[in-house]
């Protein structure tokens, strides 16, 4: 069941979204060569607590850390670790979700470490473009599948592939609510968009031809590309408004 949020809930979602956006901005200067992803995790946990929030990933279905850090061929749900030291040329997605006053804000960006090769830069920039094109496709009265259709139309010309096994999601009091948001075109998303719906858009784009991914048998979380190709992702939490959308995880004066 897809719920329509009322004004009071929307106001709380705005606050949660804002804190998540502030958290990503806060962590950005620390995402540099030589730091471990566990260090980033610990800074995020501290910042979130200091601002009265809770890190939603921590203990979510048994997830062991406060944020997800997904390096290179890791598609999503990477677990921060002391052993994962960022190095020159890496890309890393930092995915943060905070709970504030009972409501969730969920956002992620892929950061580039030092000198990243041209092909990889293109993948990252085009994945970001795909997110914003997907957001622009959201209008009340249209179908949700316009999101996937728009992203697929844009991404297919580069020879990349769109991950199918994970998608965006409704969000509110719960981390993951209906609807499931596909980033490729499918009639499964023939759902009429209505003012007051809140969901994430979070395309995961693989540089290779295969959209296939697999989950680590060792930790049960880390999702990687099957062909070893690198993968990028950007995510925002958005509200459907009468005009189109309001990006709840975007600060007023920010480009991202
Ligand atoms: N933040 C992720 C999302 O965008 C979900 C992470 S679930 C976790 O939906 F358990 F891995 F943290
Ligand atoms: Co999400
Ligand atoms: Co997320």
pLDDT, position 153: 98
179 upstream amide cis, omega within 30 of 0? yes
Question: How do residues 69-124 score in pLDDT, each as one tens digit?
Answer: 999 999 999 999 999 999 999 999 999 999 999 999 999 999 999 999 999 999 99
Residues 6 or more apart in contact with residue 44 via CB below 8 angstroms: 23, 26, 27, 55, 66, 67, 94, 96
In whole angstroms, what is the distance from residue 226 CA to residue 224 CA? 6
Could you read off the pLDDT tens digit of each residue along the chain, which spans 256 residues? Answer: 999 999 999 999 999 999 999 999 999 999 999 999 999 999 999 999 999 999 999 999 999 999 999 999 999 999 999 999 999 999 999 999 999 999 999 999 999 999 999 999 999 999 999 999 999 999 999 999 999 999 999 999 999 999 999 999 999 999 999 999 999 999 999 999 999 999 999 999 999 999 999 999 999 999 999 999 999 999 999 999 999 999 999 999 898 9
Q: Which domain holds residue 118?
A: 7-247
Is residue 115 in some structural domain? yes
Quote the longest CA-to-CA distance of the chain.
48
Is residue 187 in some structural domain? yes
Is residue 135 in some structural domain? yes
Q: What helix, strand, coil percent values describe the chain, rounded to 5? A: 30, 25, 45
Which H or E run contains 180?
strand 177-181
Q: Which ligand has the shortest distance to the CA of 107?
A: 3
In whole angstroms, what is the distance from residue 146 CA to residue 164 CA? 16
Could you tell me whether strands 177-181 and 168-170 are parallel, antiparallel, or unpaired per DSSP bridges? antiparallel
Select from 106, 180, 181 the residue to mutate for testing ligand 1; criterion: most ligand atoms less than 8 Å from CB: 106
Is residue 107 in some structural domain? yes
Residue 107, ligand 1, Cβ within 6 A? no
Task: Indicate the average pLDDT of the chain.
Answer: 98
Is residue 68 in some structural domain? yes
DSSP string, 72-112: TTEEE-PPP-TT-B--TT-EEEEEEEEEETTEEEEEEEEEE
Number of domains in the chain: 1
Looking at residue 43, which CATH number applies to its domain?
A: 3.90.230.10
Is residue 253 in some structural domain? no
Q: Are the CB atoms for 158 and 206 separated by under 8 Å?
A: no
- What atom in ligand 1 is closest to the CA of residue 60? 10
- Ligand 1: which residue has its CA nearest to atom 4? 106
Is residue 105 in some structural domain? yes
Which H or E run contains 237?
strand 236-240
Which H or E run contains 132?
helix 118-136
Is residue 177 in some structural domain? yes
pLDDT, position 21: 98
pLDDT, position 116: 98
Which H or E run contains 213?
strand 213-215
In whole angstroms, what is the distance from residue 72 CA to residue 84 CA? 12
DSSP lists the bridge partners of residue 92 as 71, 111
- What atom in ligand 1 is closest to the CA of residue 166? 9
């Amino acid at each position: 069941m897809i719920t329509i949020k009322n004004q009071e809930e929307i106001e709380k979602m705005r606050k949660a979204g804002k804190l998540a956006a502030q958290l990503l901005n806060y962590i950005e200067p620390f995402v540099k060569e030589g730091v471990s992803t566990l260090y980033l995790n610990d800074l995020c946990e501290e910042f979130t607590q200091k601002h009265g929030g809770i890190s939603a990933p921590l203990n979510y279905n048994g997830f062991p850390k406060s944020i997800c850090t997904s390096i290179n061929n890791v598609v999503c749900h990477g677990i921060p670790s002391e052993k994962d030291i960022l190095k020159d040329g890496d890309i890393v997605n930092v995915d943060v979700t905070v709970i504030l006053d009972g409501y969730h804000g969920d956002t992620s960006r892929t950061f580039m470490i030092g000198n990243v090769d041209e092909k990889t830069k293109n993948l990252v920039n085009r994945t970001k473009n795909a997110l914003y094109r997907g957001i622009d496709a959201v209008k009340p009265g249209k179908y949700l599948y316009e999101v996937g259709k728009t992203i697929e139309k844009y991404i297919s010309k580069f020879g990349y592939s769109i991950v199918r096994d994970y998608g965006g999601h409704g969000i509110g009091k719960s981390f993951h609510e209906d609807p499931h948001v596909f980033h490729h075109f499918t009639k499964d998303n023939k759902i009429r968009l209505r003012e007051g719906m809140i969901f994430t858009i979070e395309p995961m784009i693989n540089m290779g031809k295969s959209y296939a991914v697999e989950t680590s048998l060792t930790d049960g979380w880390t999702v990687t590309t099957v062909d070893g190709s690198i993968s990028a992702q950007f995510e925002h939490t958005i509200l459907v408004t009468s005009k189109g959308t309001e990006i709840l995880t975007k600060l007023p004066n920010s480009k991202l």
